[in-house]
Chains A and B, each alone.
Chain A
């Protein structure tokens, strides 16, 4: 029996891979509005309709879609007219970065009256990390909040984000929403140890795997270090790591990068890299790290910097106070968990200049660091800032991507610069503006 699935009214007969989910099948058919968020059924950014029923396409086996009709956000509008839900999300600006919007639109379009009366329950399968849901609630209920900037009264008007139409139709292009013919995929092998020296890495088995093009280790990486927490002024933060280091200082630190024709081969390649570690004493608590004799994270010591501050004469204030309440306060470390996965695409242009496409709110800083950690001169290093799938501090620095699950932009740049089969892109560098930029 031959495979056939209808996607937005168009029949596709390409057989899915046996373990493929519908999300990647749709994206491979050009439906980039179907987003990869959590990839495990929690965030809803990949929501599509199968025969009108909303499902998470990251969990939906692609093979099962055979014989069915799939609608993605790209197929929701009819005859050039926005679907009413898309229009409502525009009218209420029910989005900020827009990465989750396609999923919200698809789920909302499938809600019945009873579900519309209980939005927290109905929309619990769709996560938004920007809006706090107020704007989304407005959108679902048909509230209009956008205003027209009339001459003479433009200042203060609540005007719509210019990228809104692209966001609600799934045509805004984020980092990985680009088809790069012949692109190679990189996966990272990560450290299982909090502190260890890499004594040896055997890459022979990985390199022997069909489809694997290259394996990078610390032996390939420049000796130069860069700051994984760099701010605008590079002197603010110490250079603390190499692209691939021979000492790992946290669980999950990248140890090797496998580049292959497919994600599957790159992942299998990672499993075949043999690493011999010399495990070192580790300290994972900041207060423990300050104690005398604590294991040193860096040879230069465990204190990177100190910040002290006071406003006014604090001592005098305490002395004059009727009561003094003194405590030490702790806050947990929180990651704001933007929905867009961390990743980057790199390629060499015809003139050998390196282009890295990533989600960041700053171009100059990552470009400077990429030049630091590859052999690419800064003048030949260009950064393409795609629409950003949620921001805050994590996307100001490309370094924040380095402890994420996906290859960081530094590695992508490094890979494109030194891979034996560098990827190239025919996609012209045309911009999409990020609503939250």
Chain B
């Protein structure tokens, strides 16, 4: 929709002090989907030319915040495609929406949050003065719609990997192809270590690590200890989300054991 209060559009590469009413613009699918009457100026990241996907020699993958979902969906790793298809949004949105935008929106069902949490992602944040810091995704997304971003701070990229030997994916929603009510991902490394990522059922992402695959009871206990709140909105009752989480967690444990 038209953002009627926006008075100025600037290229993010031009150095300019952060002002109240400024917003970073990546794909635009979040900013242009709500009136946002607080907005005065859009700082367009479209011209940054950041390489969408950069793989380092150790197998780690740096995903630029401006990497589109469509670009990620085309990546051969199966888990990437599974997570992209977990979007409520269609492929026509993937053509514009970005990985960074999904993280910054911080919605519990955000599948890019699930993906990057499962792959032990680290967020590179840049302050307006150029200062950089990194946070794990689980510390970046801190609640429903809440991130650790400070005023004017920018998510530059999220670095994941190396890719685990095996992954397991479970997702459910109230309607076919609907918004995720629970999205769980398990990973198993070559050295036997296992992780379980819980998203969508909880307000923020959770990641559990096990040096060796746990027993059913150990896993259940670990989830109970980790998760304090089950998310509640019209896309799923908290009790149902909890039920799905334990069910999927056990399925993942069996699949990866």
Contacts and interface: CB of A to CB of B under 8 A. Distances in A.
Interface of A: 17-21, 23-24, 39-41, 44, 47, 53-56, 58-61, 63-64, 107, 115, 120-126, 263-264, 267-268, 271
Contact of A115 (B34, B91, B93): B91
What 5 A-B pairs are tightest by C-beta distance, nearest first?
A125-B90, A19-B6, A19-B3, A264-B4, A40-B33
B8 A53 contact: no
B44 A63 contact: yes
Nearest to A123: B90
Contacts of B44: 61, 63-64
A55 B92 contact: yes
Interface in B7-56: 7-9, 25, 27-29, 32-34, 37, 39, 41-42, 44, 46
Contacts of A23: 1
A18 B8 contact: yes
Given A21-B3, A264-B4, 5 more contacts: A18-B41, A61-B32, A125-B93, A263-B4, A264-B5
Interface residues of B, number: 33
B193 to A, nearest CB: 34
Interface string B68-101: 0000000000000000010011111101100000
B177 interface: yes
A107 B94 CA distance: 13
Nearest to A106: B92
A21 B3 CA distance: 8
A41 B7 contact: no
A59 B85 contact: no
A284 B25 CA distance: 40
A55 B7 contact: no
Contacts of B33: 40-41, 58-59
Report which residue of A23, A125, A126 has the largest number of chain B beta carbons within 10 angstroms of its beta carbon: A125
Contacts of A107: 92
Given A41-B29, A55-B95, A61-B42, A268 B7 contact: no
Contacts of B8: 18
A41 B4 contact: no
Contacts of A58: 1, 32-33
A59 B2 contact: no
Report which residue of B1, B2, B28, B93 has the largest number of chain A beta carbons within 10 angstroms of its beta carbon: B2
Interface string B155-178: 000000000000000000000110
Contacts of B3: 18-21
16 contacts: A19-B7, A19-B9, A21-B32, A23-B1, A41-B29, A41-B32, A54-B92, A55-B95, A58-B33, A59-B27, A59-B29, A63-B9, A121-B91, A123-B90, A263-B2, A267-B4
